[in-house]
Chains A and B, each alone.
Chain A
Amino acid sequence: MLSGTEADIINAVARLRKATKDQIRREVGFSSDYIEFLCRYLVRKGYLNFSNKHYSIGEVGIKTLLTEETPEIDRGLIKEITAEVAGEISNELKETKMTVARIGQKVEWMPEEKTKIKTDFELPVEDESLVLESNINKIGPNLEKERSDIDESVRLFKKIQKIFKKIQRGGRT
């Protein structure tokens, strides 16, 4: 089942015939990273093709468009909900004192906050290899053995990490 944004991406690519990530982003919105993430998923599932930095509609995508399997999104309901949320935010803002520059007024300094993309999320991954029939585990990997000389390196690395941790905590070494 496709999500609304995924369906929007497929529709956008179908409209543009061929589209770069940035073109899709302009059509659909969201961050470039998120669009790329979804596009990669859609390529893997056959909804889109990717070549020369351009996405085009894949076989599954064409079938989906022809059979109109694209999920129907209740745009009216979404508008209703966003209007409610906007109202609530606006009420909260009314109670907060804010310094607002008038149009034309010279502003000495405005702090610029960089947009931070959080990457500490967990992506649930299924073991897709379970559907494969293979003798790879029976044969096993190619094995090599090497005399270990890493104990000193492990010790030194631990020591350095410890020093950095102390420095971070504001201690002296």
Chain B
Amino acid sequence: MLTFLNRNSGFLVLISRRVGGLVGVLFGVSFITFTMTYFAPGDKAAAIAHARYPDVQGFPPDILEGIRKEFSLNEPFFIQFFQWLLRFVQGDFGNSFASNVPVWTIFLSNAMETLSLTLTALVIGLCLAFLLSAIAVWRPGGLFDRMAVALASIGAAMPNYWLGLLLILLFAAHLNWLPAYGTGTPAHLVLPAFTLAFWITASQTRLLRAFFLEAKAAPYIETLRLRGVSEGEIFRRHVLRRALVPALTMIGLDIASLLEGTVIVELTFARGGVGSLLAGSVLSRDYPMILFLVMFSALIYVLINSLIEILQDVLDPRKSLFGVTAESHSDEVRT
């Protein structure tokens, strides 16, 4: 009974430590992001002025000074940082230099494009990965298995912008079946979605194959086999069902790669979306937009990762227990 009590209190400690760590990391993220833009070369006032009046060449000093006042660019670094952070935490992300529209509005209008691309690719990629790995483990070492492994290796090494170009070359330029660049109709979604899905398929096939192989060799599966349950039923009812959680977990942990892939694919296919928005605002030095986008991607990454970690703590009693005891043990020895 004592162990039980210990475990529960240790568990709360673990969760609160994670949340504490999360706050620390978020602060670190905002600090790094802000520092990055603060120390970027070039006159920010000129950049703002140029973004506002793109046709004007050369600005009188009093206009630049006015802009500096407006955006408190003359304040010391830390004042600027905390002013920005305070506004950011309150949900005031600022206006775009270029259009003077709130960055949140611009982001939302682009987010749907990105979301539809990512989700479509995710569904296609996961379905293909499940299919491929299920076929592959049917006869481990067989022809299909080796093909799946080869595909996974190639997929991990394939630059997805190049794959995109090849698909454009084949399906848009030569066969003329699908549009190459741009956004709009569902047809525009096909090539980018498959490009992105290819990477997901490759990485997940590798993972699921290993998972299936392990699950098929598990002792309780062996028992089912001895009881006379057919191989097909074992796979459908016992192995397959347990694979979705680890697959989604791995994608969650590798959300950064998914975001990156999406950005590259969007830019390759000249699609609208968050990726193009980022590239555009980087090139035009639209700092509020850059700050928001980088912070946003970091936030997504941190939140999803912490969520998965906490879920793992909750789901796996062994891990939380060992996590606490192992740490207290190491503290003890280092004194």
- Does chain A bind chain B? no
Q: B residues near A, CB below 8 A?
A: none
Q: A residues near B, CB below 8 A?
A: none
